[in-house]
Copies of this chain bind each other. A is one copy, B any other.
Amino acid sequence: DTSDFGMSLVSSLKAFNSAGKLATWLVVPLDFAHYISVAALSGFRFHHAEGDTATMVLWMRPNEPSRIPPFATHQVGVGGLVVRGGPDDNPEDPHVLVIREAGRNYTNFKLPGGLCDVAEDFGDAAVREVREETGVEAEFSRILTMRHQHGMQFGRSDIYCIALLRATSVDVAIDTNELEDARWMKLSEFRENSPHEMVEHAIQAATGEGGAVGLQEKELKSVVPGRVPYKLYYATSGAIAK
């Protein structure tokens, strides 16, 4: 059936071309992967693929620069600066939750965290990763810092935010396959041992030093009818929010 498909593709492309179409998309299920070579002969290239589906595209105006929208370019991670802040905790020097990964040469304590799933908000991802890694329950407060890094996995770029979380439970339980250690540490002690300027800036925003406390979250309605609400993160100062 590949020759039937090939002939039907060629005649469709002629019709699309006459109709002035700018691009033709072709969604190929894995069960029909033998169509990919046929489509390639007509000039189709991969746009993206995932699981059981490849999406191919052909830009129909070879003399004009392609205006085909690019696929995803970034992965997004989030770390949690989790403060205990219970009645037994000192607000001037609270405890923060730190982890040490198993089987890494890099042995410093670091913040728990991980990658956002598709369609997962920063705060939800931070709370989930903290729970999965340490067993501690927490609530999202605000975004403290953001990092932008290139040339990461699969040649993509990476955004990493540090979120301030307030713990709602205390007991730590780790999976020893993943972590070597997780514990509550005095903020002053973590700060003395933290090798990361990024983490130090996050701590400054968490404590409001210098007057800046990071980015507050607000849910806004989309102006596009039918689209789900989205999250806005906007700068606040110590004078506005704690």
Contact = CB atoms under 8 A, between A and B. Distances in A.
A233 B70 contact: no
A212 B71 CA distance: 34
Contact of A146 (B75, B117, B215, B228): B215
Task: Give the residue among A72, A159, A227, A233 with the most B Cβ atoms within 10 A.
Answer: A72
B48 A40 contact: no
A208 to B, nearest CB: 9
Contacts of A141: none
A63 interface: no
Contact of A157 (B52, B118, B149, B153): B118
A58 interface: no
The 3 closest A-B pairs by CB, nearest first: A211-B237, A49-B49, A46-B49
B149 A146 contact: no
A130 interface: no
B54 A230 contact: no
A170 B95 CA distance: 52
A50 B56 CA distance: 9
Q: How large is the interface on A (under 10, 10 to 19, 20 to 34, 35 or more residues)?
A: 35 or more
Nearest to A121: B148
A48 B47 contact: no
9 contacts: A46-B52, A118-B155, A210-B236, A211-B211, A211-B237, A211-B238, A212-B212, A212-B213, A235-B235
A126 interface: no
Interface string A44-68: 0111111111110000000000000
A191 interface: no
Contact of A235 (B46, B73, B148, B214): B214
A119 interface: yes
Contact of A74 (B146, B153, B159): B159
A183 interface: no
Contact of A50 (B48, B146, B150): B48
